[in-house]
Structure 1
Amino acid sequence: MTPPLDRPALQARLHRDGFAFVTAEHMRQLLPMPEMDDWPAFRASWNDLAPDTYLAAVGRHRSRRHATFAIEPDGTLQRQPHQPHWQSARYNSLQGDIQRWFLPIRPALAGGASMRSILQFAHALFAPMAAGVPHHWHVETHQFRIEARADEPGEPTPEGVHHDGVDYVLVLLIDRQNIESGTTTIHADDGALLGSFTLAHPLDAAMVIDARVSHGVTAVTPIDPAQPAHRDVLVVTFRATPPAATSPA
């Protein structure tokens, strides 16, 4: 068994490199797995996603659900009313500057132990790193399934190597079936490759400081073209927001 990886060591790695790959073994040490009693249902919920119709027009096969949360400086977590996902064209040349509505993550899962534990872990990791900015967070969670077909590879990042336009990103592998490749690549502003790794086992994770590095994932192809093939991930983004304005007394 590899030595434990604690949160301060992971924060130091992120500070140093701008990104980190964390194995499933270490994520099981960092997450409160015994408390995540809905994990089987959480993992199975990737079978209940809806097609991403914004990509269907260009022949790319991705399914997803989406939910938004607010996290206060003290860690208080609250799901927000369902709302569209929006990215500037500066960060997403394929689908930027449009409001994209996706089916919401089901309430039992969005409010369940697994999601809550993942978001609390991410907040405890990222919030102390954001010195000098208000620690109120706009958090978006995305369930993604990328399908690979015999005649068409699946594209986890159809927009290519990119920034997300947030402060921090966590990508957690939920499942991968009958696929090869899907290598995450990390790049400097000049395009230089800083690192690469493959999320191969459930709970393998990637974390990035979005302003410092860009990231992409290579296309996935089926090992057995006659069988279904997919890559399931949960993507969590953190963006610092100013505290709500208060009216003068």
Structure 2
Amino acid sequence: MERFRRLVRRDGFAFAGADEVDPLLDALGGLEDWADFAASWDRLEPDRYLIATGRRRRRRHAVFAWDEAGPRNEGTGLRRLPPQPHFQTTVHNPLQGGIERWFAPMEEVAVGSSFHTLARLGASVFEALDGRASTPWFIEAHQFRIEAAPGQAGEPTPEGMHRDGVDYVLVAMIARHNIERGTTSIHAPDRTTLGSFTLTRPRDIALVDDHRVLHGVTAVTPRDPAAAAHRDVLVLTYRRRPSA
């Protein structure tokens, strides 16, 4: 955990493979429902806003308040809030900013123990960077499935290199099926490349300081043109909430 904090503090981002992440997740709450959690990506709905631009992806969305970090799955402080739209300014999302976007809500099976554990991992890293023992967060959760087909690459970040307009971001790989590429690149505000990596295995993660760096992901293409191809990720964004 401390390595992640040190890297984000120094570089504005960190990448970690599943072999390093899994022991931390086990200590933070475990992944007992991972199979059902990952299977919920098969039931995402089309992003009708992106379809309007001639692009394709599937997604679901939910919002949460985080007040404290408790042991394992007891007293996590993670509270699901009533559905609300996702909004970004045109500064942060020139493709789809400036409008309220309502997405299908995440299923209950998608917000069980595996989800809580991943959310706690992000909170544990980011609250230390915030300089407070316990930071109240507003968390937006986004399930994404990027589909690719012969002659039609999938675009994980159709808005291009960007910031999300939050404080911190955690991206977790859920599954890759029959795809090539999908490399994440991190950039300084002047667009200088600071690093790149590819999330390939379930629970490979990226942690990003959204104030300091921009990020983007290259398009994905099918490895076997005759078979279905997709890239599934969970994106959690963290914004500070005023303390009570």
Does residue 63 (structure 1) correspond to residue 64 (structure 2)? The answer is: no
Q: What residue is the counterpart of 2:165 in the other structure?
A: 165
Q: Note the C-alpha offset of 1:73.
A: 4.5
Structure 1: 4+ residue segments shifted above 3 A: none
Amino acid corresponding to residue 27 of structure 1 in structure 2 = V
Q: What residue is the counterpart of 2:196 in the other structure?
A: 196
Amino acid corresponding to residue 186 of structure 2 in structure 1 = I
Q: What residue is the counterpart of 1:10 in the other structure?
A: 4
Q: Note the C-alpha offset of 1:45.
A: 0.6
Structure 1 spans left out of the alignment, 5+ residues: 1-6, 245-249
In 2, Cα distance between the equivalents of 1:12 and 1:100?
35
Is contact 1:21–1:205 with CA below 8 Å preserved after alignment?
yes
Percent identity over the alignment is 51
Does residue 25 (structure 1) correspond to residue 19 (structure 2)? The answer is: yes
CA deviation profile, 1:152-193 (whole Å, cap 9, x unmatched)? 100000000000011110000000011101000000011000
Is contact 2:166–2:239 with CA below 8 Å preserved after alignment?
yes
In 2, Cα distance between the equivalents of 1:93 and 1:131?
32
Q: Note the C-alpha offset of 1:135.
A: 2.2
Length-normalised TM-score, structure 1: 0.91
Length-normalised TM-score, structure 2: 0.93
Q: What residue is the counterpart of 1:127 in the other structure?
A: 127
In 2, Cα distance between the equivalents of 1:27 and 1:133?
22
Equivalence map 1:83-98=2 (5 Å):
83-98=84-99
Q: What residue is the counterpart of 2:73 in the other structure?
A: none
Amino acid corresponding to residue 142 of structure 2 in structure 1 = H
Amino acid corresponding to residue 86 of structure 1 in structure 2 = F
Amino acid corresponding to residue 6 of structure 2 in structure 1 = A
In 1, Cα distance between the equivalents of 2:35 and 2:134?
35
Q: Note the C-alpha offset of 1:109.
A: 2.4
The 3-state SS of whatever aligns with 2:93 is: coil
Q: What residue is the counterpart of 1:3 in the other structure?
A: none
Structure 2 spans left out of the alignment, 5+ residues: 70-75
Q: Report how many aligned residue pairs link the two structures.
A: 237
Is contact 1:31–1:118 with CA below 8 Å preserved after alignment?
yes
Point out the more displaced range, 134-143 or 120-129.
134-143
Bigger Cα Rg: 1
CA deviation profile, 1:195-216 (whole Å, cap 9, x unmatched)? 0111111111111000000000
